[in-house]
Structure 1
Amino acid sequence: MKRVAVEKSLRNVKDYLKEQGYNVESLENNRDKINSFDAIVVTGQNSNFLGMHDTSTNGTVVYAKGLTPEDVHKELQRSL
């Protein structure tokens, strides 16, 4: 099961991904474990989404601005 961290404001995306079988957790509660996720979904509103300018992650980052939950899911399927 793929682990995905989702920004708190993207509740509809979080719910949809759970329905699709992803292990979804809140990004805000897991900043210290960011590299343990296969993907991170953010709004794209804030390029400094982890509160650090030099943060990097091994997982895929999906910017959900303007995307439906279904679009986010398709992006995840393509990249994971």
Structure 2
Amino acid sequence: MAKIGVEQSLTNVSQALREKGYEVVEIKQESDARNVDCCVVTGLDSNVMGMHDTVTKAPVIDANGMSADEVCREVESRLQ
């Protein structure tokens, strides 16, 4: 199963993804996102300076305003 990086504040999303069989790793810093198949973030750390330093080629999902089920569906669609 795919390895999903989830920002540490999204515990409900982490639990829902684990229940679906995904391996979930907590993203505490940028380097944690390097070897995952998909990343889920809160979107609270917006890029106000407009600088883009990519640390992963995996899809990044902004979970802001989404339920855990909606995030799971989005992860599944991005990994297909």
Report the TM-score when normalising by structure 1: 0.84
Deviation at 1:77, TM superposition (A): 1.0
Identity of aligned residues (%): 35
Deviation at 1:16, TM superposition (A): 0.5
Residues 1:26 and 2:26 are matched in the alignment: yes
> What per-residue deviation string (whole Å, max 9, x for no partner) do you get for residues 47-78 of structure 1?
25xxxx43312101000000001000111111
Change (3 A) 1:21 1:44: same
CA distance in 2, matches of 1:78, 1:35: 20
CA distance in 2, matches of 1:7, 1:44: 10
Question: What is the aligned partner in structure 1 of residue 74 from structure 2?
Answer: 75
Residues 1:42 and 2:41 are matched in the alignment: yes
Report the TM-score when normalising by structure 2: 0.84
The aligned length equals 75
Residues 1:64 and 2:40 are matched in the alignment: no
Change (3 A) 1:42 1:33: closer
SS state at 1:75 partner: helix
For structure 1, the 5+ residue unaligned runs are none
